[in-house]
Amino acid sequence: MAELQLSPIIAGAWRLAEWQFSVEQRLAWIEGCMARGLSSFDHADIYGGYQAEALFGEALALRPALREQMQLVSKCGIKLVGPARPAHGFKSYDTSAAHITTSVENSLRALRTDRLDLLLIHRPDALMDADEVAQTFERLRRDGKVLHFGVSNFTPAQFELLHSRIPLVTNQVECSPLHLAPCTMARWTKPSACACGP
């Protein structure tokens, strides 16, 4: 399998729903990012109350040829309570095969694509069955729905637990110039990613 190539800086879609852009403005933002060399876009199923991926996908549908020039990253594993997921009784983490698979299917449909370039487990799940996650990842790869896998905000030991069962390409950690501790403890593999925040 080809090595994953991400742009040096990854454009985050976390706040896409808050910007209240029209679909044309969203497309202009995507094209503006790509014109500046930001070809990788970071999503998560929960962003924007489960709406951000669909907003991005709606814009991408205006110029579907852009899909072949970009890399789509998404995350799953957090279950939020809200109107978009009325069956969720309380916020929790879920890394079961059923939840990961359903989340990927939802992301593909929302983003209007046939594959994710990279899928991350969004947060460590104390009840994670590493073998079940690895088997689910292998099945998603075999089906062509996800090309590469990683994690987000895992400790080195948590990373190794899953990495020993299936190769992970990154541990995306939250850090900023004012909060560097996560960067010093994360295991960085090539390529690496850092979600910067305040």
Whether the Cβ atoms of residue 167 and residue 150 lie closer than 8 Å to each other? no
| Helix/strand/coil for 82 | strand
Q: What tens digit of pLDDT does each residue of 79-119 get?
A: 999 898 988 888 999 999 999 999 999 999 999 999 999 99
The amino acid sitting at 112 is R
Q: What tens digit of pLDDT does each residue of 148-162 get?
A: 999 999 999 999 999
Considering 41, 47, 50, 154, which one is annotated as catalytic? 47
> What pLDDT tens digit does each residue of the chain (198 aa) get?
689 999 999 999 999 999 999 999 999 999 999 999 999 999 999 999 999 999 999 999 999 999 999 999 999 999 999 898 988 888 999 999 999 999 999 999 999 999 999 999 999 999 999 999 999 999 999 999 999 999 999 999 999 999 999 999 999 988 777 777 766 654 444 444 444 333
What SS3 string covers 90-147? CCEECCCHHHHHHHHHHHHHHHCCCCECEEEECCCCCCCCHHHHHHHHHHHHHCCCEC
| Helix/strand/coil for 195 | strand
Our answer to whether residue 47 is catalytic in this structure is: yes
| Helix/strand/coil for 194 | strand
pTM: 0.90
Place of tokens 């979600």: 195
Name the nearest CA neighbour of 123 among 173, 162, 170, 48: 173
